[in-house]
Amino acid sequence: MFERIEPAVLEFAEDGTPWSSRFGDVYHTDQGALGQAAHVFLAGNGLPGRWQGRDRFVIVETGFGLGLNFLATWQAWRDDPARPHRLHFVSFEKHPFSAADLARAHQAFPALKPLSDQLCNQWPLATPGLHRLSLDADRVILSLYLGDAVDGLGRVHARADAFYLDGFSPAKNPDLWSERVCHQLAALAAPNATLATWSVSGQVRRHLAYAHFDLEKAPGYAGKREMLVGRFVGQATPAPAPAERSAIVVGAGIAGTSIANRLARLDWKVTVVDQAEGPGHGASGNHAGVLRPLPSLDDNRISRLTRAGSLAGRRHLEWLDAQAVSAHWGASGVLHLAVDAAHAERQKAVVEAHQAPVAYQQFVSAAQASDIAGWPLPAGGWWFPSGAWVNPPSVCRANLHHANIQCRFGLHIHGIVREHDQWVLMAEDGVRIAHAPVLILANGVGIRSFPDSAALPVRAARGQVSHLPAAASSPPRVVVCRQGYVTPAFNGMRCAGATFIVDDDGTELRADEHADNMEKLEYMLPGFGDTLPPTDGAGRVGFRPVSPDRLPIAGGVPVPGDYASDATLDAIERMPGLYALSGFGARGIVWSAIVADQLASELNGDPWALETDLRDSIDPGRFLLRKARKAATDRS
Domains of the chain: total: 3
Rounded Cα distance between 552 and 557, Å, is 13
Give the pLDDT of residue 324: 84
Give the pLDDT of residue 495: 97
Indicate whether 528 and 464 sit together in one domain.
Answer: yes
Beta-carbon contacts of 453 under 8 Å, excluding residues fewer than 6 positions away, are: 441, 447, 557, 578, 580
Backbone phi, psi, residue 190, to 5°: -85, 165
Indicate whether 49 and 174 sit together in one domain.
Answer: yes
Q: Is residue 86 part of a domain?
A: yes
**Rg of the chain (C-alpha set):** 26
For 328, the 3-state DSSP assignment is: coil
Indicate whether 489 and 596 sit together in one domain.
Answer: no
Give the pLDDT of residue 632: 85
Alpha carbon distances (Å) from 549 to 114, 296, 447, 506, 620: 45, 16, 17, 24, 12
Rounded Cα distance between 267 and 569, Å, is 29
Q: Is residue 611 part of a domain?
A: yes
Nearest to 176 by CA among 189, 184, 167: 167
Rounded Cα distance between 479 and 385, Å, is 10
Nearest to 465 by CA among 253, 278, 280, 284: 284
470 is in which domain, residue-wise? Answer: 459-546
Indicate whether 441 and 538 sit together in one domain.
Answer: no
Q: Give the 3-state secondary structure percentages of the chain, helix then strand then coil, rounded to 5.
A: 35, 25, 40
Quickly list H helices, 359-411. 366-373, 392-399
For 575, the 3-state DSSP assignment is: strand
Rounded Cα distance between 143 and 238, Å, is 19
Q: Is residue 261 part of a domain?
A: yes
Torsion sign over Cα 507, 508, 513, 518: positive
User: 430-455 as b/e, with b when 16 or more CB fall inside 10 Å?
Assistant: eeebbbbbbbbbbbbbbbbebebbeb
Indicate whether 151 and 224 sit together in one domain.
Answer: yes
DSSP character for 253? Answer: S
Give the pLDDT of residue 223: 78
The 3 state secondary structure assigned to 350-366 is: HHHHHCCCCCCCEEECH
The CATH number linked to 510 is 3.30.9.10
C-beta atoms surrounding 316 within 10 Å: 24
Q: Is residue 256 part of a domain?
A: yes
Which of these three, 479, 511, 546, is where a domain ends?
546
Which of these three, 546, 572, 597, is where a domain ends?
546
Indicate whether 529 and 465 sit together in one domain.
Answer: yes
Rounded Cα distance between 16 and 20, Å, is 12
Beta-carbon contacts of 373 under 8 Å, excluding residues fewer than 6 positions away, are: 335, 475, 476, 477, 478, 480, 525
The CATH number linked to 51 is 3.40.50.150
Contact 73, 65 (CB under 8 A): no
Give residue-wise pLDDT tens across range 126-164: 999 999 999 999 999 999 999 999 999 999 999 999 999
Q: Is residue 597 part of a domain?
A: yes
Rounded Cα distance between 218 and 231, Å, is 13
Give the pLDDT of residue 27: 62
pTM of the predicted model over 0.85: yes
Indicate whether 172 and 87 sit together in one domain.
Answer: yes
The CATH number linked to 439 is 3.50.50.60
Give the pLDDT of residue 76: 98
State the DSSP H helix or E strand holding residue 347, giving kind and residue range, or none if neither.
helix 341-354
Q: Is residue 131 part of a domain?
A: yes
Q: Specify burial of residue 514 (Cβ count, 10 A radius: 0-12, 13-18, 19+).
A: buried
Torsion sign over Cα 96, 154, 607, 384: negative
Indicate whether 411 and 524 sit together in one domain.
Answer: no
Nearest to 460 by CA among 582, 559, 349, 345: 582
Which of these three, 546, 566, 599, is where a domain ends?
546
Indicate whether 33 and 141 sit together in one domain.
Answer: yes
Nearest to 145 by CA among 109, 92, 181: 92
β-bridge pairing 86-93 and 140-146: parallel
Indicate whether 134 and 270 sit together in one domain.
Answer: no
Give residue-wise pLDDT tens across range 330-364: 999 999 999 999 999 999 999 999 999 999 999 99
Give the pLDDT means over successive 10-residue stretches in the chain (636 positions).
86 74 64 88 98 98 96 98 98 96 93 97 97 98 97 97 89 89 98 96 96 97 92 95 95 98 98 96 94 97 97 97 92 98 98 96 98 97 98 98 97 95 95 97 96 96 96 95 97 95 95 96 96 91 96 97 94 97 96 98 98 98 94 83
Give the pLDDT of residue 137: 96
Q: Is residue 263 part of a domain?
A: yes
Contact 288, 329 (CB under 8 A): no
Q: Is residue 320 part of a domain?
A: no
Give residue-wise pLDDT tens across range 225-280: 999 999 999 999 999 999 899 999 999 999 999 999 999 999 999 999 999 999 99
Tally of helices (H runs) and strands (E runs) in the chain: 16, 32
Indicate whether 133 and 227 sit together in one domain.
Answer: yes
Indicate whether 440 and 466 sit together in one domain.
Answer: no
DSSP bridge pairs for 56: 86
Secondary structure (DSSP) of 220-251:
-STT--EEEEEEE-S--PPPP--SS-EEEEE-
